[in-house]
Amino acid sequence: MRHYDTVKRILVTGGAGFLGTHLCERLLKEGHDVLCVDNFYTGSKRNIAHLLDNPMFEIMRHDVTFPLYVEVDEIYNLACPAAPIHYQFDPVATTKVSVHGAINMLGLAKRVKAKILQASTSEVYGDPDIHPQPESYWGNVNPIGPRSCYDEGKRCAETLCYDYHRQHNLRIKVARIFNTYGPYMHVNDGRVVSNFIVQALRGEDITIYGDGSQTRSFCYCDDLIEGFIRLMNTSDDVTGPMNLGNPGEFTIKELAEIILEMVGSKSKLVFMPLPSDDPRQRKPDISFAKEKLDWAPQISLREGLMKTIDYFRNYLKENL
C-alpha cells in the first residue's frame, strides 16, 4: 500500500456504467484520485464525459476478465452487466466477468495490499422463501436457468472474496445491492424503472411481465453510493455481506401507475408472460447496515423518480 500522500488512488471497475459513474463523481468530490476502468459493454463514454477534464480522473478501456497491473489503494469492483437483457445476451461472458473478473481484481488487491469492495446483488437470494431477506439467508437459486449466469456468477464472486480473505488475509467488503435506479441508467437496459419511464415519456404501452403483483424495493442511486462509501470505510473486521437497498416495497403494477401519474402519460398497461425464475418478491432486511454503518435510505421513491424522469426526459430530447 502506498503511504506517500493522503489522497487515495481508487480503482472503479465498471466505472462508466450507471452506478460506476455516480461512484466516480462522489469519490472525485471527496478529493480522491480515481481510475475508471470499463470495456464499454454496457457502460458509456457519455456518462463520464463531464469528468474527463478533471485532473484527478483517468479512464482506461479494459476488460477485467484479463489481469490489470496498476497501483491503487482501494478497489470498487462493479464490472458486470446488471440488467437481464444485457447479462443474458452473452451468458458465458457474464459468468466470466463475475468469476474471472473477481479473481483478477482480488489478485490485484492482494499484490498491492489494497482494500476491495465487491458489488454483489440481491439476486444471490434467488426466488426467496424468506421475506424480507436477511444476509444470513442462503437463497433459493436455480443453478441452470437463464438467469444463473448472473445469480451464480455473483455467488461465486462472493465465495472468492471470502476465500481470499481467509487464505490471504485480504481486506474485503461485500455489498448486496437491491434494485437501484437513477440518472445514467442505460435507456435500453430493460430494467423496470428505466423501462417504464422511457415507455411513458414516449407514449408507448407500459410492458408488465406477469400480473404485476410481484414486489421490488427501489433504492435511489445516491443512497446506495453513500452505503458503498460507508461500508468501504468500516474497520477491517466488517466484511459483510451487507444488504444495501430501500426496504420500501412496491408491486410492479404500483410502480407503473406512479410513473404514469408523475409523467402525465396516457400509456396503457400491457401484461406479458413472466420470464423464467423471475423472483416473486424482493425486500432487504437492512438491520446490519443500520447497525454497522448508521445507514438507511433517505430519498423517497417519488423524489428519486422525479430526478430520474428529468434525466430521461432530457436524454430523449437530446437523442431524438
* Low pLDDT (below 50) residues in the chain: 3
Looking up cell 416473486, which residue turns up? 280
**Measured distance CA(134)–CA(137) in Å, rounded:** 6
Q: What is the largest CA-CA distance in the chain?
A: 60
Give the per-residue pLDDT at 291.
98
The set of cell numbers assigned to 308 is 430520474
What is the C-alpha radius of gyration for the chain, rounded to an integer number of angstroms?
Answer: 19
* 3-state secondary structure (DSSP) of residue 117: strand
Catalytic option among 150, 181, 184, 220:
150
Query: What pLDDT is attached to residue 234?
Result: 98
CA distances from 219 to 63, 158, 317 (A): 28, 22, 26
Is 41 catalytic? The answer is no
Cα distances from 177 to residues 95, 287, 289, 293, in angstroms, run 18, 15, 12, 15
**How far are the Cα atoms of 99, 197, 203, 317 from residue 266, in angstroms, in the given order?**
44, 12, 7, 19
216 neighbors 179 (Cβ within 8 angstroms): yes
Q: What are phi and psi of 147, to 5 degrees?
A: -95, -5
Q: Does domain 9-182+219-245+283-297 have CATH number 3.80.30.20?
A: no
pLDDT at position 82 is 81
Residues 20/12, Cβ–Cβ less than 8 Å? yes
Q: pLDDT (tens digit, 9 = 90+) per residue, 51-64?
A: 999 999 999 999 99
